[in-house]
Structure 1
Amino acid sequence: MAKAKPVATLSEAESSVYRERIKKRLQERNAVLIAHYYTDPEIQALAEETGGFIGDSLEMARFGARHEAQTLVVAGVRFMGETAKILSPEKRVLMPTLEATCSLDVGCPADEFAAFCDQHPDRTVVVYANTSAAVKARADWVVTSSIALDVVRHLKDQGQKILWAPDKHLGDYVRRETGADVLLWDGACIVHEEFKAKGVLDLKKVHPGAAVLVHPESPQSMVEVADVVGSTSQLLKAARELPNDTFIVATDRGIFYKMQQENPQRRFMEAPTAGNGATCRSCAHCPWMAMNSLERMLRVLDDEQPSNPEEIHVSPDLIDQALKPLTRMLEFPRP
C-alpha cells in the first residue's frame, strides 16, 4: 500500500493568505468546498466560512448534488470524490490530490472483489461506502455505517445471505448485531484498527465519568467497552445528548473540530492507539485525509486547464451501474 506523502506546516500568516486566495477562487470558479469530518480543522473551517459543507461521505455527495455550484471541491479521500461524481455526473469534481486514498478502498481491488463475488453467487452483495466506483458497481447494495444495521436486518428478514466488503470489523459488528449470515471480505481501516480496549479501560480509571464513543470500524474489543457505537454523525449526536462532560473518542481525531464546536464546555480525548512498544501507523488521524492541504487546494483551483490532473473521472457506464445500489440505499425507508 502506498504511503501518504507528508504535508508541510504553514505559519498562521501563510494559512491566512492561502485561505483568502482560496475563497476568491471558489467564487470565481463557481465552486463549493465540501469537506469530510476527518480533514484538518482549517479545511473544515474554510468549508463553513465559504458556504460549503462538512459531513460524512454520503452527505458530502448529496450536498454536492443539491448545490447550484458547477464545480465541487471535495476534501477527503478518493472514493468520496467518486461518489460525488456518481451523484452529480454533470458537475466537475476536483480534489486537492487524487493520491489521498483509503486503506479500505485500496484493500478491495475491483477485479479481486468481482472474483470473490462470482465464487458466492447465492449471496446478496453489500458494500460499504468506503469503496471505489467499480466495487460499488458490482454490489447489490451500498451502505454507510449509519444505515448498515437496518439494511442487513431487512435483507435477513427476506431470507438473504450477505457477502460483505470491505471492512471486516464493521461487517462483524453488523453480523453480531443482526444475526445475519454474513461472509466477510478481509479489509480494515488503519486508523480504527489501532484503537486498544486496554488503553481505554486504563484511561477510564483516570476519568471514570467519561463516556466512550466508538466507530464500528474498530475491533470487537473496542465495541465491547463502548457506551455508544455509531457512525460519525451518530457519535456527534451522542456527544450533544449524553449527560457526560468528558468523552473518550475512538475515531479519527478530525471529528474533534465539530465535537468541540458544538460542545465547547465538554472535554474530548483520543482513545489510545498503542500500548508499550507498539508502533502507531496513524495515531488517530488518517494520513491520507491529512494530505488535503490549503496549498494543494489552491493549486487545483488555480489550474484553469480543461484537463486538471486532480479531477475525478468516472465512465458513464460505471456511473450507471454504481448508481443503482447507491439509489437503493438512498430510497431505503429508515425506521
Structure 2
Amino acid sequence: MTAEAQALVQAHLAKVVQDDSLSDEQRLAYRERIKALLRERDAVLVAHYYTDPEIQSLAEETGGCVSDSLEMARFGKEHPASTLIVAGVKFMGETAKILSPEKRVFMPTLEATCSLDIGCPEQEFSDFCDQHPDRTVVVYANTSAAVKARADWVVTSSIAVELIEHLDRNGEKILWAPDKHLGSYVRDKAGADVLCWDGACIVHEEFKAQGLLDLKKAYPDAAVLVHPESPASVVEIADVVGSTSQLIKAACDMENDTFIVATDKGIFYKMQQLAPEKTFLEAPTAGSGATCRSCAHCPWMAMNGLQNMLDVLESENGMGQEIFVDPTLAEKAMVPLNRMLDFGKSLKG
C-alpha cells in the first residue's frame, strides 16, 4: 500500500469508536426493539460474516441474511422488503443501493469503511486505467461506487479465479484493483496477464507466515484456512485458500477437528455454529505492528452495533445514515455489477 494510502487508513482508524458498554439486560432489550422495528418498517437486516456475532445472530433470527458480499448483493436485490439495513462496510451499502435503487438502504454507521476502498481513490484509479487502455478493468467488490463505475467487471473473492480464467481464455489482459495480494493470487492460479493496483487489507496483511508455522507446530493436525487477501507467504502454507463462504464450507467438510484460520475472526461465529464439535484458532498477526488495532478483526466492521442500529431504525431519517448513490454513477456501476451476478449464476448453473 502506498504511503499516501497508509496515511488515509491511519486517519480513519483514529476516528473509530466502538461501544461495548451495554449490559446483558440492555442488549436483550435492544434486540427485541430492533426486531419489532424491522417488522414495522418493512426492513430486512443483511450482515457480513465479519460483523459481531450478535449482529449476525440478529440477522438470522429476523429472516435476514448473513453471508459474503456477493450473496449479500444477491439477497438484497431479490428480497421483497422495501428497506435494507446493511451491517458491514460502506461499499456494501453502496452496492445494495445500486442494485436496488427503489429501496431505502441504511447502515448503522456510514463511518464503517474499508482500507481497500480508502486506498483506491477515484481519480488516481481512473488515471491508472487511462495509462493502460488495452487492459480489461476488473475491480474487487471492496471499492467505491465511483471506482466500480470505471470498471468493466466487479468481482468477489468467491469467483475471482474463475472470472480471470474466463477473461484469459478470451485473450484479455487484466488491470486488477485494489488488493494486490488477491490480484497476485488469481494471476498465479489463472496464469493470466494481470497488472495489480497497490492496495491491501489491513486485517489480512497482518497475518505472518512464521507465526503461522509456529502455531502449526503446536497443532500439527490442524488444517490451515487462508483468505487470498493474505500475503503470498501465508497463502503458501494453506491447506485451503478461499473466500469467506468457501472457508466456512471447508471447515464443515474437512475431517480435521482443528483449524487455524487466517481471516477476520468474525467468521468464527458461523464456523462454530455449523461445526460445533470443531476447534478454530486465530492465525497469528503482526501483534505490535503499526495497525495492531486491526489484528484479526476489521475495526470498521466492529462499528456495527446494537446501539447505532437501533438509533437508525428509531429515527425518521435514519440518523443521516442512509446510503445515496448518484443515479448516473449508479447506472454506470450497474453494468459491471450485473456482469458479476450473471457470471456467478452461470457458475452455479
Q: Residues 146 and 333 of structure 2 are in contact (CA less than 8 Å); yes or no, is this contact kept in structure 1? A: yes
CA distance in 1, matches of 2:293, 2:41: 37
In structure 2, which of residues 338, 342, 345 is the aligned counterpart of residue 327 of structure 1? 338
**Residue identity opposite 1:148 in structure 2:** A
- Contact 2:228–2:235 (Cα < 8 Å) also in 1: yes
1:294 aligned partner: 306
Q: Does 1:82 align with 2:101?
A: no
Asked whether the 8 Å contact 2:257–2:277 carries over to 1, the reply is yes
**DSSP 3-state at the match of 1:171:** helix
Equivalences for residues 160-179 of structure 1 within 5 A: 160-179=172-191
Contact 2:47 2:65 in 1 (8 A): yes
1:281 to 293, 300, 304: 293
Q: How far apart are residue 308 of structure 1 and its match?
A: 4.7
Q: In the TM superposition, what is the alpha-carbon distance from 1:281 to its structure 2 partner?
A: 3.4
Paired positions, count: 333
Assess if the C-alpha contact under 8 Å between 1:58 and 1:83 holds in 2: no
Q: Distance in 2 between matches of 1:161 and 1:61?
A: 27
Greater share of helix: 2
**Aligned position for 1:45:** 57
Distance 2:102 2:123 in 1: 27
For the residue of structure 2 that corresponds to 1:183, the secondary structure is strand
TM-score, reference length from structure 1 = 0.97
In 1, distance between residues paired with 2:70 and 2:48?
10
Q: Which runs of 5+ in 1 are unaligned?
A: none
Q: For residues 31-180 of structure 1, what are the structure 2 equivalents within 5 Å?
A: 31-180=43-192
Question: How far has the Cα of 1:278 moved from its partner?
Answer: 4.0
CA contact (8 A) 1:36 1:54 kept: yes
Correspondence 1:137-286 to 2 at 5 A: 137-274=149-286, 278-279=289-290, 280-286=292-298
Q: Deviation string for 1:286-326 (max 9, x for gaps)?
A: 00000001000000001113x75100001111111111111
Contact 1:40/1:290 (8 A) holds in 2: yes
Q: Secondary structure at the match of 1:312?
A: coil
How far is 1:199 from its partner?
Answer: 0.7
SS in structure 2 at match of 1:23: helix
Give the alignment's TM-score, normalised by structure 2: 0.93
CA deviations over 1:202-259 (Å, ceiling 9, x no partner): 1111110000000000000000000000000000010010100000000000000000
CA shift, 1:17, in A, is 1.1
**Is the CA contact (8 Å cut-off) linking 2:311 and 2:319 kept in structure 1?**
no
Question: Is the contact made by 2:74 and 2:341 (CA closer than 8 Å) also made in structure 1?
Answer: no
Which whole-Å deviations, capped at 9, do the CAs of 1:82-132 have from their partners, x for residues lacking one? 010111110000000000000000100111111110111000000001001
Contact in 2 for aligned 1:210/1:244 (Cα 8 Å)? yes
Percent identical across equivalent pairs?
A: 71
Contact kept, 8 Å, 2:141 with 2:154, in 1: the verdict is yes
Partner of 2:324: 313
Is this contact kept in 1: 2:152–2:336, CA < 8 A?
Answer: yes
2:16 paired residue number: 5
Q: SS state of the match for residue 47, structure 1?
A: helix
Letter paired with 1:115: D
Amino acid aligned to 1:317: T
Q: CA deviation at 1:274?
A: 2.2
2:3 is matched with none
5+ residue gaps, structure 2: 1-7
